[in-house]
Chains A and B, each alone.
Chain A
């Protein structure tokens, strides 16, 4: 079928896969599960997933398909727009058993995709790969199928990005030990974003200096992007800017005063109503 499929995965799916792998039974080396999402014009968007218990021996594989159907039904009651788009497995290669499982999923949906997440950390990385099954062989002779890889990348809703950034702070320096992280207060986040922007500006300045002194080759695309950047800053005369600034600051200060006033009034109200015993 269409080989120009492109898979987009949401971070929740990857979190779920890692968690399922960590909770696997002591005797299994691999975990598998179903991928849920929707397909649209050659782009498969994977939004959710769940784990399916299965047993694998050298020559046999069993997966609890009733369980898979049950959980899919339960899930559909909450997210009615998610359908089965494929299945996932941990591990770094596609085995013979995979084709059996893939066949089952081919019955459930049209052209399932198979995603693997390499939790065994081969080569020092946790590789994320996607495959579809392409049938090959002579039409009247032996038919087989082959897993070919398709491009896969990660996409997020906006709040997911922020959630991810917050969770990423647990990647502590020093051996990757897990640290605890609090959801931060607003001001701290603003200051952090500000310093991040400062760092990025430093990098850009460094690049410009290098180009000017001849250390790096000038790149036209980057130059054009820099020009866009400079032109996107709105030009305002000093008076206009201070006018806007002052009016905004006054508004905000007024709102702060009002809200503090409301809080004090609430406390007074509480005391007064409790005092009047009838």
Chain B
């Protein structure tokens, strides 16, 4: 029972995994509202908790609540969460904490804090997911909600805490299988559907037409700029790694030369019937250099990957829009010159 997300090529799924995430319209609208308000007022990342329950092989999200911003010191964060959940339980809302959500600008959500939080969540609650809401894209008209889970290998790797290349090779963890994407589905109850039919009459018709906006150049510029920053970072990390490798190879050569000299000396002494030089500890002479951790470059690589996917998607839909306009223009031309 493999999840239908695209990135799970080599991951074997165990029985307790989630096949898809089902969210109520209420949770979706609340996430949209909170992330939108945060992005318009103070450009912070909006975070919150997801509540719901696990039914067979799907994770149902029935409600959610936002977290206060980090710099508020009056109440402890855990206390706030507990207080909220207790209050919600009084009104019969599901109080099982199944995950958390975060807003992201143009999909740049992959970072060390995110990995850590998701790791803690998944170790305490088996089926938890992180839902990412893309503020930029949604304001242009494409509601983007994606659910992610850490793969079992990523959890293993995090548990060990070692990010050397050998450890990563052993666990077969690369930037592609850090996260798997879980299919996201929205479901509404019958009464909500009735309410929405009423709503459809009350919401003005013109407001939902941003899909066909041709002016995507500025968005594309922003995305490309973020991509370039990340590529620069990755470049720095690659330089660091190369430098380390050069140091290590030079050290190997030095060691080799030293050993050779030693054996030559010993041979010369044996020829002169003198006692050989005492063996010295190689490692004390040539202290091994610390291996740079590969976690950061891996995260950056994963981020660049998501960026490039998002950019290709954006370009393809802009192309589609351009071709539509071309068709219209051709129709206009043929009508003008009969």
Interface residues, chain A, CB within 8 Å of chain B? 10-12, 14-16, 18-25, 47-48, 51-53, 64, 67, 70-71, 74, 77-79, 117, 119, 121, 125-126, 128, 153-154, 156-168, 170-171, 176-187, 189-194, 197, 236, 238, 241, 245, 248-249, 252-253, 255-256, 259-260, 262-263, 266-267, 269-270, 273-274, 276-278
B55 at interface (Cβ–Cβ under 8 A)?
no
The one of A153, A168, A197, A238 in contact with B200, judged by C-beta atoms closer than 8 angstroms, is A168
For chain B residues 213-259, which have a beta carbon within 8 Å of chain A? 220, 224, 227, 231, 234, 238, 241, 245, 248
Determine if A159 and B36 form an interchain contact, defined as CB atoms under 8 angstroms apart: yes
Find chain A residues with CB under 8 A from B12 CB. Answer: none
Determine if B143 and A15 form an interchain contact, defined as CB atoms under 8 angstroms apart: no
Determine if B304 and A126 form an interchain contact, defined as CB atoms under 8 angstroms apart: no
B138 at interface (Cβ–Cβ under 8 A)?
yes
Q: List 22 A-B contacts (CB under 8 A).
A: A11-B199, A11-B203, A15-B26, A18-B195, A78-B65, A78-B69, A159-B35, A163-B28, A163-B138, A163-B143, A165-B208, A170-B25, A179-B187, A183-B186, A186-B313, A187-B320, A197-B212, A245-B329, A249-B322, A259-B315, A262-B304, A278-B291
B145 at interface (Cβ–Cβ under 8 A)?
yes
Determine if A24 and B92 form an interchain contact, defined as CB atoms under 8 angstroms apart: yes
Interface residues, chain B, CB within 8 Å of chain A? 22, 24-26, 28-30, 32-37, 62-63, 65-69, 72, 74-75, 80, 83-84, 87, 90-93, 135, 138-139, 141-146, 165-166, 168-169, 174-176, 183-200, 202-203, 207-212, 220, 224, 227, 231, 234, 238, 241, 245, 248, 291, 294, 297, 301, 304-305, 307-309, 311-322, 324-326, 329, 333
Nearest CB of A to B172, in Å: 9
How distant is the Cα of A262 from the Cα of B224 in the complex, in angstroms? 12
Nearest CB of A to B85, in Å: 11
How distant is the Cα of A117 from the Cα of B203 in the complex, in angstroms? 17
Determine if B207 and A156 form an interchain contact, defined as CB atoms under 8 angstroms apart: yes
Nearest CB of B to A34, in Å: 12
The one of A153, A167, A176, A256 in contact with B312, judged by C-beta atoms closer than 8 angstroms, is A256
Determine if A156 and B184 form an interchain contact, defined as CB atoms under 8 angstroms apart: no
How distant is the Cα of A160 from the Cα of B37 in the complex, in angstroms? 11
How distant is the Cα of A193 from the Cα of B211 in the complex, in angstroms? 6
Main secondary structure, interface of A, reads helix
Find chain B residues with CB under 8 A from A256 CB. Answer: 311-312, 315-316
Nearest CB of B to A105, in Å: 18
Determine if B245 and A163 form an interchain contact, defined as CB atoms under 8 angstroms apart: no
Determine if B196 and A164 form an interchain contact, defined as CB atoms under 8 angstroms apart: yes
Determine if B203 and A190 form an interchain contact, defined as CB atoms under 8 angstroms apart: no
The one of A16, A126, A156, A267 in contact with B198, judged by C-beta atoms closer than 8 angstroms, is A126
Q: Given that A53-B90, A157-B36 are known contacts, is A182 also in contact with B184, CB under 8 Å in the complex?
A: yes
Nearest CB of B to A157, in Å: 5
The one of A21, A125, A181, A238 in contact with B186, judged by C-beta atoms closer than 8 angstroms, is A181
Determine if A12 and B191 form an interchain contact, defined as CB atoms under 8 angstroms apart: no
Determine if A164 and B190 form an interchain contact, defined as CB atoms under 8 angstroms apart: no
How distant is the Cα of A223 from the Cα of B195 in the complex, in angstroms? 35
The chain A residue with its CB closest to the CB of B324 is A194
Determine if B92 and A266 form an interchain contact, defined as CB atoms under 8 angstroms apart: no
Determine if A171 and B197 form an interchain contact, defined as CB atoms under 8 angstroms apart: yes
Find chain B residues with CB under 8 A from A121 CB. Answer: 194
How distant is the Cα of A162 from the Cα of B198 in the complex, in angstroms? 16
Determine if A190 and B301 form an interchain contact, defined as CB atoms under 8 angstroms apart: no
Nearest CB of B to A155, in Å: 8
Find chain A residues with CB under 8 A from B333 CB. Answer: 238
Determine if B207 and A158 form an interchain contact, defined as CB atoms under 8 angstroms apart: yes
The one of A23, A248, A278 in contact with B322, judged by C-beta atoms closer than 8 angstroms, is A248
Find chain A residues with CB under 8 A from B145 CB. Answer: 183
Q: Given that A19-B26, A190-B317 are known contacts, is A178 also in contact with B245, CB under 8 Å in the complex?
A: no
Given contacts A16-B26, A259-B312, 12 further A-B contacts (CB under 8 A): A18-B191, A21-B191, A128-B202, A156-B207, A158-B139, A168-B196, A178-B190, A180-B187, A183-B145, A186-B313, A256-B316, A259-B315
